[in-house]
A and B are shown apart, each in its own frame.
Chain A
Amino acid sequence: MSPILECRNLTKKYGGSYALSGLNLTLERGEIIGLLGPNGSGKSSLIKLAAGVLQPTAGEILLSGKAPGAETKRFVSYLPDRSYLGRQMRVSEAVDYYNTFYDNFRPERASGMLDSLEIDRRARLSSLSKGTLEKVQLILVMSRDADLYLLDEPIGGVDPAARDYILQTILTNYNENATVLLSTHLISDIENILDRVLFLRGGQLALNASVDEIRTEYGKSVDTLFREVFKC
């Protein structure tokens, strides 16, 4: 079986500056992977290229052996870094919308999570707080049975208690052959649920190691190592 995600010499250029430059990377199935790096290091660009909303300038990115497109969207569940749903939609309508679009959407799973977080299904998205809107979007994305989840900053705007719930949600809902790639700045909050971390610097891979490899080798947490590697 081809790896779930593979980048070969992947390059993305905006005007004269490189967001990603010659990135080579292979991700295996069944791992939760943290994509870490300072602002402007290329995290979002990598996720957007995988989601098929950006096209590479050079090189290629393959998901299960296929270039991102209509076919890959069936098995890729993508959480963008900003809201993409109609503001006037009600929560229940957003759930229906997902249910119509994706045959691997599990409405009962979404329902369970909306109940646990006490989110009103009749509320319009425009009336929700920033954190609640983020929760709704993550619930929709995690309620699909996908092979690859691409989560761009899934926990940035939510309070610490909801953050714990969301991490539990990720742990509960991904199956053992699925891969989760998530970008975040809140490293210490998510360290324990990750298999592996990728450090990006200037559009290139600075480190690709498992969390326990880092702790064994450096005797420190990923968070501490990150602060040292990227010290300003």
Chain B
Amino acid sequence: MPWKLDSSRPIYLQLMERIQHDIISGVYRPGDKIPSVRDLALEASVNPNTMQKALSELERSGLVYSQRTSGRFITEDEKMLKKMKMDLAAEHIQQFFEQMHHLGFSDEEALDLIRETLRRKNNEPDS
């Protein structure tokens, strides 16, 4: 199945995000070897050079490291993995607040709505 990609944002960024997501959701464990550029490109149905760029960027950030002959691996640095998770969470939260601002809610009102939603969800039977 080709990866689902948004058509207006740079492809390599979306490939990076997808791989980060796969690391967080446990598709890849710390220290795992990741497939070759070619295999990943085929799986995603994208250009191999674009996949290469995404992996190089992940390498630059330290999330992925390469061993000269044996391929690329996910970092085992738990601190870095935790930081990536926090960064992504911060990004989602920021986007959420931006959207709420567009709808005309202040930060306080948005927070109240979150609390309200949680309260309702927790009171529902069978959920």
- Residues of B near A116 (CB, < 8 A) are none
- Inside 8 A of B9's CB, which chain A residues have their CB? 215, 219
CB–CB B5/A192 < 8 A: yes
Contacts of A220 in B (CB 8 A): 8
Interface size on A (CB < 8 Å)? 24
Residue contact B2 to A164, C-beta cutoff 8 Å: yes
Tally the A-B contacts, defined by beta carbons under 8 Å. 53
Contact of A192 among B8, B46, B53 (CB under 8 A): B46
Give B1-18 interface residues, CB cut-off 8 Å to A.
2, 5, 7-12
Cβ–Cβ < 8 Å partners of B48 in chain A: 171, 176
By the criterion CB–CB under 8 Å, are B45 and A164 in contact? yes
Interface size on B, residues (CB 8 A): 18
Any B CB within 8 A of the CB of A223: yes
Among B10, B47, B50: residue with most chain A CB under 10 A:
B47
Please classify the interface of chain A as helix (H, G, I), strand (E, B), loop, or mixed, using the class held by over half of its residues. helix
- Provide the residues of chain B in CB contact with A93, threshold 8 Å: none
Asked whether, in the complex, the Cβ of B47 is within 8 Å of the Cβ of A32, the reply is yes
Taken residue by residue from 200 to 226, chain A's Cβ proximity to chain B (1 for < 8 Å, 0 otherwise) reads as: 000000000001100110011101100
In the complex the two chains form, what is the Cα distance from A172 to B47 in whole Å?
10
Min C-beta distance of B50 to chain A, whole Å: 7
Question: Hey, which bits of chain A sit against chain B, CB under 8 A?
Answer: 30-32, 164, 167-168, 171-172, 176, 188, 191-195, 211-212, 215-216, 219-221, 223-224
